[in-house]
Structure 1
Amino acid sequence: MGHPDFVARRKPNPDASLAEILGGHGAAVDATVPVVAFVLAFTIADAVAWASPVAWAGGAAVLAAAVIGVVRMLGGKRPRAVLLGLLGVAVAALVALYTGRAVDFFLVQIVSNAASALVWAVSIVIRWPLLGVVVGTALGQRTRWRRDPDLLRGYQRASWVWVGQYLVRLAVFVPLYLADAVVALGIARSVLTWPLVALCVALSWPVLRSALPPGHRGLRHPEDGAEGSRPST
């Protein structure tokens, strides 16, 4: 993941920089493919009355995740990230296989979104906004960004955008889950994965930037005590 300079000498482009730090949509697309494979396999197996359509669907999802994992590893992605993605799909498939209900393939995702919304919200309240933790770690700043009150406030504001994405998913997923709408859940899962992540990335910078006063040097340059270290304009 590249870390381009946030403070370009003549023509800064902070939007693109933040987007690169938060990552592209590759991982989100990877998470969508096994879901599509599950829904397609279940729909076909159920339509032709094959035995254990949930098992066919779960196998298709795991196979799709495995293929993606191999491709990503050959492309240089870390094995740990690949294995975690595969494990998530395998657990979801096992839950559905255990209950015998295809809709339960999405249960792990629903629980994960609920937990994520809670964790992100708590991180904001205790003044350790997760967006700051992620970006600060990516930039090698450790916790220096927390000593800049303007940057801390900006990360808090922008982290609410990420809380919002989890709540949007829950508002859509839960009713569909309760209605046992497997195909609709698969479509919603696909639509609300990488497009929603991309939207969050796009909105994060302007929300964060609204907390930074004129003269602030940007994300790469946390300012201890703000006023004392900010260059005069």
Structure 2
Amino acid sequence: MKHGTHTGAVPQPDESADLAPAAFEPRRFDADGDPTREESLARLLGGGKAAIEGSVPPIAFLIAWLASGGELLTAVVWSLAASAATLVYALVERRRPKAVLIGMLMTVIAAIVAYYTGEARNFFLIQLLSNAASALAWIVSIAIGWPFLGIIVGGLIGTKTRWRKDPVLLRAYQRASWIWVMQYVIRVVVFSVLWWLDETTWLAIMRAALTYPLIIACIAVSGWVLFASIPKSHPGIRKPRVPSLD
């Protein structure tokens, strides 16, 4: 029996002129090291789970706010309780709950600001300002050649900052990072208008609406931009092409 008829047999260069190029083309591995699937930014960043966990506190706040007839303290307590539940879940799964802790801290600070100013809309002021600061920080990171998306992904996959020496990957991370800037800008525009109009209920609604859906959309679109910006001839984000010193 010929070797080419066996399932899983590796094609030899002299077996077919059409199979030879594909057999020696650099493979792109996904987050699990599987060369049969495309790399996925969502799998690398844990997009679905992260988005859901980030959505729990604002949704709890919204439900409590509407159910209590607009009582800020009740809504804040329920939001913190939801954050605590998310924290416990992360610890049970033995994951680093840094994002959850930061969210809880921001909720406490936002409640203090709203309490001392006497205006419920100011509970969302911290969220508005943090998104504005994030948008600015991402823009600066792109401008100076240190796009945050590259830093985050490089840290996750072990390439660290070697991608900066690869013009193709640097450009790809810069392009994809603009999608994250747009995410923050959308929130800033929506929150600013509603805050100015003193629409606290709509602020609560839009905070919940612009968490899970927007994070998922951002990861999906930025992932598409990232990988679409890398030529097929390039080995991929896990193998930066670092110029030789010779």
TM-score category, normalised to shorter length:
0.7 to 0.9
Do the aligned partners of 1:34 and 1:64 also contact (CA within 8 Å) in 2? yes
Larger radius of gyration: 2
Pick the aligned partner of 1:43 from 52, 66, 79: 66
Pick the aligned partner of 1:13 from 34, 38, 49: 38
CA-based RMSD: 2.1
Aligned to 2:11: none
User: Normalising by structure 1, what TM-score?
Assistant: 0.84
User: Normalising by structure 2, what TM-score?
Assistant: 0.80
Q: Does 1:4 align with 2:32?
A: yes
Pick the aligned partner of 2:221 from 191, 203, 215: 203
Q: How does 1:86-105 map to 2 (within 5 A)?
A: 86-105=104-123
Aligned to 1:50: none
Do the aligned partners of 1:39 and 1:182 also contact (CA within 8 Å) in 2? no
Deviation at 1:79, TM superposition (A): 4.7
Aligned to 1:25: 48
SS in structure 2 of the partner of residue 25 of structure 1: helix
Identity across aligned pairs (percent)? 45
CA distance in 2, matches of 1:142, 1:75: 25
| Higher mean C-alpha displacement, 53-62 vs 161-170 | 53-62
Deviation at 1:81, TM superposition (A): 4.1
Structure 1 unaligned blocks of 5 or more: 48-52, 229-233
Pick the aligned partner of 1:149 from 167, 180, 191: 167
CA distance in 2, matches of 1:189, 1:54: 15
Do the aligned partners of 1:5 and 1:220 also contact (CA within 8 Å) in 2? no
CA distance in 1, matches of 2:67, 2:182: 35
Q: How does 1:158-177 map to 2 (within 5 A)?
A: 158-177=176-195
Deviation at 1:77, TM superposition (A): 2.5
SS in structure 2 of the partner of residue 221 of structure 1: coil
Q: Does 1:71 align with 2:89?
A: yes
Q: Does 1:219 align with 2:237?
A: yes
Do the aligned partners of 2:169 and 2:230 also contact (CA within 8 Å) in 1? yes
CA distance in 2, matches of 1:209, 1:80: 28
